[in-house]
A and B are shown apart, each in its own frame.
Chain A
Amino acid sequence: MTALDPAPTPAPATAPAPASAGGRTIRTWRTLRSSRTAVIGLAVVGVHVLLALLAPLLTPHDPVANSPSHALLGPGPEHWAGTDQYGRDVLARVLYGGRYALGVSAVSTVLGVALGTVIGCAAALRGGWFDDILSRVLDAVLSIPAILALLVVVTVLGTGYPVIICAVAVVFVPQVVRVVRGAALAVVPADYVTAARARGESTWAILRREVLPNIVDVVCVEFAMRASWVVLLISSLSFLGFGAAPPTPDWGLMVAENRTAITVVPMASLAPIIALATLVVGINLASDGLSKAWGVDRIREGS
């Protein structure tokens, strides 16, 4: 007896692709492709990653080698972006600088977001005293400006990569927790979570099977947002002289070193600025595109 079944409401007529895990990634990829900003953003970030990885092939110059004989050159055939005061090739330093910026920010963002997500979900699900205490601690850490926290940590443990990564991760875990907790709180009262509770599933099982898959989009957008914020934070740190120690090629450090010579060799400062801005714009575009594609409500992010 064919059910008197009116066609589904005019929801986007997506072809009923198989809904297995493979299907889900295809679906995500299609939604990604559908939003233009996400594609542009990801393309820009992709270019940056490529440039950073292929740096040795792209430029013959060693980013750290000093050749004072041709210091402070403007852009020319030999050095496309000119040289800085120690005669180091600016273009090479920008390319290698990409490694530092991308590497450190990627790792610390992953670390921070992973940690933040687990804590955020647990807080939202368990609620009660655990949630209260956690909010108190988060508020305390958030109340200290990131710059101060980082300055103190870096002066205590020095400026090695692991130190900076952990410091940045620790500093922005509270913000991630706040956002993820908000997103999870919106999912927890949903009936399918109540159904899981009615079945007597354990908290961890509910977290893993019901809550996490539904906030993965918020987490990804949060990841992209934080990555751009981290890149800026790291470059500010280097600018203040607390980040990468010279002579490592780092964009913030390059701006700091060459900013007084901006009228003589403008490219020495502008190249890292352009690189930094394009990378961050790329990440922001990607995160915007992602959030539009997945219809993530960025408002919760503010609460």
Chain B
Amino acid sequence: MTALVSVSSLSVSYRSGGQDVPVVREVSFELPEGRTLALVGESGSGKSTVAATLLGHLRHGSRLDGGEVRVDGHDVFALSPGRLRRLRGGTVAMVAQNAGHSLTPSMRVGRQIAEAGGGVPVLDLLEQVRLPRPAELARRYPHELSGGQQQRVSIAMALAARPRVLVLDEPTTGLDVVTQRGILDLVADLRDELGLAALLVSHDLGVVARMADEVSVLRLGRTVESAPTRKLFSRPEHAYTKRLLASVPRLADDGLALVGEAGEREIRARAVVPPQAPVAVSADDVTVDHGSVRAVHGVSFELRCGEIVALVGESGSGKSTLAWALAGLRAPSGGTMTHQSGDLTRLARKRPPGLRRRVQLVFQNADTSLNPRRSVGDAIRRPLRLFGTAPNREAATARARELVRDVQLDPALADRLPAQLSGGQRQRIGIARALAGEPDVLIADEITTALDVSVQAEVLRLLDDLRRERQLACLFISHDLAVVRGLADRVLVLRHGVVVEEGPTQAVFTDPGHPYTRELMAAALEPDPDARPPVDDVPDWEETADADGVWTDHGHGHRVRRWRPASTPLVEGVP
């Protein structure tokens, strides 16, 4: 029996700026009934384009150069519009990456699901995707749902017409780790229950390890390696696959993973921060309000020179708000933040120049952090002139080229515009710009989230080198536990603006005290098919702040906020 889906030497190119840029080059694979194939690759590898061809869809401006995609025995691109529509409804369905954007804003969610046809009642579908109060939810508009809920609606919409093949394009990117786990479990159960064949597109090796039976690795539109999941993760053959697997930080690493040319992995032990290292910044009972909402509530911590402290938490936990308050972009409504040479509670504009250059911020999205109309050299020269760390123009230019070399980039890049650099290069320039003021404290606000996994490894490596060479104090904000595990000396876990657990990384990760931390670790996905979750029992809990103190001490600075097992069973609430 021929496979349900068979793609043979598919080639697609995209017309831009006058020439045809090849995006997919002779990709072939088969997807039998009930099996799940994963397409893995970094951004620009063409994996999404291939996935879309299963539904006979090519982006505006792209063209099929060669090859064939047969679904259920029919060549998709040869189908008449009518038959193509039936294929898209009944046989193949797609769950897009960003559910928020793929649901029509001006239509109620219920009607969008019903519209997909198939005769299955909407309420049953919503229950099938485990959404609470389906009747009430069906009448809501997309913007009134959380990220997780939107994705579940997308899935319900895909299942409405009882397809036989489900195409999932980065289904959980951008979701919090706990929500992501919920969605993946749901998809796995539905797939088995309905016997669906699935094509999973992802750049996250943890997700692939968990979901896929087969894996195909793509690089620049070409299939580099294809193998069953367990074989690929344990004995990768192609150098690129090896390097890819090596670059992904593991929860078990007790230091930064350095990746060699052929993908060999060497863990560099964390630098030991001498106890008498001076305190660069200390924050005491800091509170920050967003209009009526309290984003940060009574957070205290110390940051010593040469030390990396990580702020971990899901979106909405207030970690970025705290970072921006420290950088002087948002005035705290309570508590104090002091630096050796001055008070940091005031906004940057009002801080004296001497103090202002001490604390520097590096942004998450490299694309918008650099002025597109100025060369990267200008971006670095500006703080040099402003903070007076370079006496005149020539000195500034020379210093700027030095800084570019410091972040391990070719100084000649200084004359280029940001658009002509890759994501990784742009992020390094962001760091160079922060270093221009010769700061003591560097705040890194999720600087690796938007990067491909291989590039992420290098940037983390650079950050670690800098704090060792320059005794730089670094506040590292992230939602990825594995990254924090490898890089940070101490970690604070934040939930709804409150610190639930803090302590040395080693202690917190081996013996997490607070159930929320345990929940985060349980949800984290390791790039290893038969990896056991490090933590299994996650009791239900609720807050207690009774009189005799807020913390329970676990030694060596490892403190956990008091909690007690929940008295009434929590309703199966999905965030």
Q: Which residues of A pack against B, CB within 8 Å?
A: 1, 3-14, 16, 18-20, 24, 34, 190-192, 194-195, 197-201, 209-210, 213-214, 216
Taken together as a complex, chains A and B put the C-alpha atoms of A15 and B117 apart, in Å, by 49
Contacts A10-B14, A13-B17, A192-B370; A197 near B349 (Cβ below 8 A): yes
The 5 closest A-B CB pairs, nearest first, are A12-B17, A213-B373, A191-B369, A19-B375, A10-B21
Contacts A19-B415, A19-B417, A213-B374; A195 near B351 (Cβ below 8 A): no
Q: Which residues of B pack against A, CB within 8 Å?
A: 14, 16-19, 21, 23, 42-44, 219-220, 243, 247, 259, 327-329, 348-349, 351, 353, 356, 360-361, 363, 365, 368-375, 379, 382-383, 386-387, 408, 415-417, 419-422, 424-425, 433, 452, 454-455, 458
Q: Could you jot down 15 A-B contacts, CB within 8 Å?
A: A3-B424, A3-B455, A3-B458, A6-B422, A7-B44, A13-B17, A19-B420, A191-B369, A194-B329, A198-B327, A198-B328, A198-B361, A199-B387, A200-B348, A210-B371
Taken together as a complex, chains A and B put the C-alpha atoms of A12 and B379 apart, in Å, by 23
Closest to B458 in A: A3
* Residues B382 and A199 in contact, CB atoms below 8 Å apart: yes
Supply 18 further A-B pairs (C-beta < 8 A) apart from A5-B455, A6-B422, A200-B356.
A4-B247, A7-B220, A8-B422, A10-B21, A11-B16, A14-B17, A14-B420, A16-B420, A18-B415, A194-B329, A195-B361, A195-B433, A198-B327, A199-B348, A199-B382, A199-B386, A199-B387, A214-B372
* Residues A6 and B42 in contact, CB atoms below 8 Å apart: yes
* Residues A24 and B373 in contact, CB atoms below 8 Å apart: yes
Q: How far is the CB of A112 from the nearest CB of chain B, in Å?
A: 24
Closest to B349 in A: A200
- Chain A contacts of B422 at CB under 8 A? 5-8
Closest to B459 in A: A3
Indicate which residue in A5, A14, A18, A195 contacts B424 across the interface (CB closer than 8 Å): A5
Q: How far is the CB of A111 from the nearest CB of chain B, in Å?
A: 25
* Residues A191 and B368 in contact, CB atoms below 8 Å apart: yes
Taken together as a complex, chains A and B put the C-alpha atoms of A13 and B259 apart, in Å, by 30
- Chain A contacts of B14 at CB under 8 A? 10
* Residues A4 and B349 in contact, CB atoms below 8 Å apart: no
* Residues A199 and B420 in contact, CB atoms below 8 Å apart: no
* Residues A4 and B454 in contact, CB atoms below 8 Å apart: yes
* Residues B329 and A197 in contact, CB atoms below 8 Å apart: yes
Closest to A4 in B: B454
Contacts A4-B243, A13-B17; A199 near B356 (Cβ below 8 A): yes
Q: How far is the CB of A261 from the nearest CB of chain B, in Å?
A: 51
Contacts A6-B220, A8-B422, A19-B417; A199 near B371 (Cβ below 8 A): no
Taken together as a complex, chains A and B put the C-alpha atoms of A214 and B387 apart, in Å, by 24
Q: How far is the CB of A276 from the nearest CB of chain B, in Å?
A: 35
* Residues A201 and B43 in contact, CB atoms below 8 Å apart: no
Closest to A192 in B: B371
- Chain A contacts of B247 at CB under 8 A? 4
- Chain B contacts of A216 at CB under 8 A? 373
Taken together as a complex, chains A and B put the C-alpha atoms of A34 and B421 apart, in Å, by 23
Closest to B461 in A: A1
* Residues A195 and B44 in contact, CB atoms below 8 Å apart: no
- Chain B contacts of A18 at CB under 8 A? 415
Q: How far is the CB of A206 from the nearest CB of chain B, in Å?
A: 11
Closest to B22 in A: A10
* Residues A4 and B220 in contact, CB atoms below 8 Å apart: no
Tell which of B243, B369, B379 has the most Cβ of chain A within 10 Å: B369
Contacts A13-B19, A192-B368, A198-B361; A6 near B329 (Cβ below 8 A): no
Taken together as a complex, chains A and B put the C-alpha atoms of A9 and B243 apart, in Å, by 20
Taken together as a complex, chains A and B put the C-alpha atoms of A18 and B454 apart, in Å, by 29
Contacts A9-B43, A18-B415; A191 near B363 (Cβ below 8 A): yes
- Chain A contacts of B44 at CB under 8 A? 6-10
Taken together as a complex, chains A and B put the C-alpha atoms of A191 and B371 apart, in Å, by 9
- Chain A contacts of B458 at CB under 8 A? 3-4
* Residues B421 and A214 in contact, CB atoms below 8 Å apart: no
- Chain A contacts of B370 at CB under 8 A? 192
Taken together as a complex, chains A and B put the C-alpha atoms of A7 and B42 apart, in Å, by 11
* Residues B375 and A195 in contact, CB atoms below 8 Å apart: no
Tell which of A192, A199, A200, A216 has the most Cβ of chain B within 10 Å: A199
Taken together as a complex, chains A and B put the C-alpha atoms of A51 and B435 apart, in Å, by 57
- Chain B contacts of A194 at CB under 8 A? 329, 363
Contacts A14-B17, A198-B328, A213-B371; A19 near B424 (Cβ below 8 A): no
Q: How far is the CB of A262 from the nearest CB of chain B, in Å?
A: 47
* Residues B353 and A200 in contact, CB atoms below 8 Å apart: yes
- Chain B contacts of A9 at CB under 8 A? 43-44
Tell which of A8, A195, A200 has the most Cβ of chain B within 10 Å: A195
Taken together as a complex, chains A and B put the C-alpha atoms of A197 and B328 apart, in Å, by 9
* Residues B348 and A197 in contact, CB atoms below 8 Å apart: yes
- Chain B contacts of A11 at CB under 8 A? 16, 419
Q: How far is the CB of B510 from the nearest CB of chain A, in Å?
A: 31
Closest to B361 in A: A198
- Chain B contacts of A1 at CB under 8 A? 408
- Chain A contacts of B328 at CB under 8 A? 198
- Chain A contacts of B452 at CB under 8 A? 6
* Residues B368 and A198 in contact, CB atoms below 8 Å apart: no
- Chain A contacts of B455 at CB under 8 A? 3-5
Contacts A16-B416, A214-B371; A195 near B363 (Cβ below 8 A): yes
- Chain B contacts of A210 at CB under 8 A? 371
Taken together as a complex, chains A and B put the C-alpha atoms of A198 and B371 apart, in Å, by 14
* Residues B368 and A190 in contact, CB atoms below 8 Å apart: yes
Contacts A12-B16, A201-B386; A191 near B365 (Cβ below 8 A): yes
Taken together as a complex, chains A and B put the C-alpha atoms of A209 and B379 apart, in Å, by 11
Taken together as a complex, chains A and B put the C-alpha atoms of A294 and B118 apart, in Å, by 45
Taken together as a complex, chains A and B put the C-alpha atoms of A9 and B43 apart, in Å, by 7
- Chain A contacts of B42 at CB under 8 A? 6
Closest to B352 in A: A200
Q: How far is the CB of B373 from the nearest CB of chain A, in Å?
A: 4
Tell which of B14, B16, B371, B422 has the most Cβ of chain A within 10 Å: B371
